[in-house]
Amino acid sequence: LVFTEKQEALVKESWEILKQDIPKYSLHFFSQILEIAPAAKGLFSFLRDSDEVPQNNPKLKAHAVKVFKMTCETAIQLREKGKVVVADTTLQYLGSIHRKSGVIDPHFEVVKEALLRTLKEGLGERYNEEVEGAWSEAYDHLAIAIKTEMKHEE
Ligand code: HEM
Ligand code: ISQ
């Protein structure tokens, strides 16, 4: 399976669009996670004590942006190297943070779906199967890397 230049370009271009309104899309991303899996709310420290999704939470925004950026970065690596190389320390850190928070493998499908819905919302008519495929592939590779790290820790 190869990740093409076209796919890399699609991922980069769509992130450029969503980047224009971080507050909106980070909130949308997060709301979609909770819509698909309401119970996931308890996993997030910045939410546990609030009744609704905080409108302008700096932590929520920063984390949501990181998920998008890391997926983007993964797309670039897949095209350049044909594999995912997240710095070892970053992967270890993400593995341990997610495991300690109580995240389990099926949650990764939830976050993927929420990410794709957010892209669809942001891109409107520019969203299509090709865009979806490129993001899906990049996300899946990144998710596998994090899940593998979560298991190594046990
Ligand atoms: C935290 C990325 C999947 C739940 C984080 C952080 C990042 C991140 C960058 C912030 C770490 C920090 O600096 O403290 C990602 C990426 C994912 C992914 C790239 C997939 C490719 C998931 C999934 C869940 C999840 C599937 C489950 C719903 C959480 C939780 C935290 C967290 C609960 C801790 C938030 C807090 O309480 O501060 N994630 N994540 N993540 N993530 Fe993810
Ligand atoms: C952390 N991990 C995965 C997805 C997220 C979305 C919003 C905020 C934080 C997140």
Q: What is the pLDDT of residues 114-154, one digit of tens each?
A: 999 999 999 999 999 999 999 999 999 999 999 999 998 66
Residue 44 confidence (pLDDT)? 92
Residue 144 confidence (pLDDT)? 95
Residue 47 confidence (pLDDT)? 82
Ligand 1 surroundings by CB, under 6 angstroms: 40, 43-46, 59, 63, 66-67, 70, 94, 97-98, 101, 103, 107-108, 110-111, 139, 142-143, 146
Nearest listed ligand to the Cα of residue 60: 2
Residue 54 confidence (pLDDT)? 79
Beta-carbon count within 10 A of 40 CB: 20
ipTM value: 0.97
Per-residue pLDDT of the chain (154 residues; tens, 9 = 90+): 689 999 999 999 999 999 999 999 999 999 999 999 999 989 998 887 777 777 888 889 999 999 999 999 999 999 999 888 888 889 999 999 999 999 999 999 999 999 999 999 999 999 999 999 999 999 999 999 999 999 986 6
Nearest listed ligand to the Cα of residue 34: 1
Tokens representing 112 are 């993927």
Of 111, 113, 115, 147, the residue with max ligand 1 atoms within 8 A of its CB, to mutate for a pocket test, comes to 111
Q: Contact 153/95 with Cβ under 8 angstroms?
A: yes
If you measure from the C-alpha of residue 114 to the centroid of ligand 1, how many angstroms do you get, rounded to a whole number?
Answer: 13
* Nearest CA, atom 7, ligand 2: 64
Residue 37 confidence (pLDDT)? 95
Q: Phi then psi for 86, rounded to 5 degrees?
A: -85, 140
Residue 154 confidence (pLDDT)? 60
Residue 57 confidence (pLDDT)? 86
Full DSSP string of 8-66: HHHHHHHHHHHGGGHHHHHHHHHHHHHHH-GGGGGG-TTTTT-SS--TT-HHHHHHHHH
* Nearest CA, atom 7, ligand 1: 63
